[in-house]
Amino acid sequence: SLKGKTAIITGSNSGIGLGVAHELARAGADVVLNSFTDRAEDHKLAEDLAAEHSVKARYIQADMSKGDECRKLIETAGACDILVNNAGIQHVAPIDEFPVEKWDAIIAINMSSAFHTTAAALPLMRKAGWGRVINIASAHGLTASPFKSAYVTAKHGIVGMTKTVALETAREQITCNAICPGYVLTPLVEAQIPDTAKKYDMSEDEVKQKVILERQPSKEFATVEQIGGTAVFLCSSAAEQITGTTISVDGGWTAL
């Protein structure tokens, strides 16, 4: 059980982050939810999660595109046994047309945020004598697709950071790994469907099956519960010697 452990999940008012938070809470961890907004509904997500799993939960606003706010998230939480770097955005365009501000935002949110949160969290993990850093990378951390230069760069970057942090903590009871999901049907993926449907003159269902799941041999989306379950496994004693590596949850994508 993860009772008594505090998990901070960045970008967790939606999608995979929220799913991971639920699975860690189901395993007994207290959780800190985060995003850049500060709405009543964000705080309500934490209240509902606490009630559902009988754990402590709070929502802390912090913008993961800003290094100082990443560090402040960890400081404000005050404890961090499990850090899940999950916040991420996507933008799709050929590299010669890729908007510079989108490039900067993707590199900041999907990659550099993990540098700042990890730097702030490691001293707390060392004090506690135990820690788990789990980076939500992607199949795009291991392979590429056209028109996703910033995303693919950031995700390959975070896989590299994962290995480095693992080496720096190898003699401690701290591990650092990356989960590499294939396609999971979350708002991030749903947002890409209407444009793609227009581009290929297809229905949205056809886009899901023929375009999105084209790369995923199982022809099924992975679920947020499966990503959360993988995170819980990485926190278990069975995973004590698993560090500096990637775990794909991608229906066979990276086997192709």
Residues 215-244 interacting with ligand NAD (rule: CB under 6 A): none
In the bound state with ligand NAD, the residue whose beta carbon lies nearer, of 17 and 228, is: 17
In the three-class reduction of DSSP (H, G, I as helix; E, B as strand; rest coil), residue 173 is classed as: coil
Per-residue x/- track, 117-156, ligand NAD (CB under 6 A): -------------------x-x------------------
200 catalytic? Reply is no
- Give dist(CA 133, CA 118) in Å, integer: 7
**Least distance to ligand NAD, CB of residue 183, Å:** 4
Nearer to ligand NAD, 88 or 251 (CB): 88
The sheet carrying 174-181 orders its strands as 57-61, 30-35, 6-9, 82-85, 131-136, 174-181, 246-249
Q: Return the residue of 46, 122, 165, 184 that touches ligand NAD, per CB under 6 A.
A: 184
The nearest distance, CB 249 to ligand NAD, in angstroms, is: 9
Q: How far is CA 175 from CA 75, 83, 98, 100, 201, in A?
A: 21, 11, 35, 34, 46
Cβ atoms < 10 Å from Cβ of 194: 11
Q: Return the H-helix or E-strand segment holding 114.
A: helix 113-128
Site for ligand NAD in 104-123 (CB under 6 A): 109-110
CB 89 within 8 A of CB 136: no
Which is nearer to ligand NAD, 9 or 235 (by Cβ)?
A: 9
**Per-residue mark of binding to ligand NAD, 43-72 (x: CB under 6 A):** --------------------xxx-------
CB atoms within 10 A of CB 71: 17
Residues that bind ligand NAD (CB under 6 A): 11-17, 35-36, 63-65, 86-89, 109-110, 136, 138, 181, 183-184, 186-189
Catalytic residues: 151
